[in-house]
Amino acid sequence: MMGTNPLDLLADQQRAEPPAVTELHRRFEAAVALGLQFQDARNALGWSQRELSERSGVRQADISRIERGTGNPTEATLHRLAEALERRLELA
């Protein structure tokens, strides 16, 4: 419908989504946010993914997937990355 507010359309779509789809969206958004935090910390140190890989023992390809929000890292992997970046990891 012409003239409809896009935010209203989005809200309507979200209300119509099954709970499982809503949960998938929530998990995806959380994964992207986590990945961006790791990427920001790495960039703040001026490190490449390769350098973080060497310092953490986590494969560069895995770091790339985590930073893009498409990985499925273990808690141990996240702790290794956080330790290499000298950051504290808090999982909720």
What is the CATH classification number for the domain harbouring 38?
Answer: 1.10.260.40
Whether residue 91 is predicted with pLDDT greater than 90 in this model: the reply is no
DSSP state at residue 34: H
Whether residue 22 is predicted with pLDDT greater than 80 in this model: the reply is yes
Residue 80 falls within a domain, yes or no? Answer: yes
What is the mean pLDDT of the segment spanning 4-9? 74
Whether residue 5 is predicted with pLDDT greater than 60 in this model: the reply is yes
Mean pLDDT of the chain: 89
Residue 4 falls within a domain, yes or no? Answer: no
Show the CA angle centred on residue 84, arms to residues 79 and 89, nearest 5°.
Answer: 35
Whether residue 8 is predicted with pLDDT greater than 60 in this model: the reply is yes
Whole-structure pTM value: 0.76
Structure confidence at residue 3 as a pLDDT band (50, 70, 90): low
Number of domains in the chain: 1
Domain that holds residue 29: 19-84
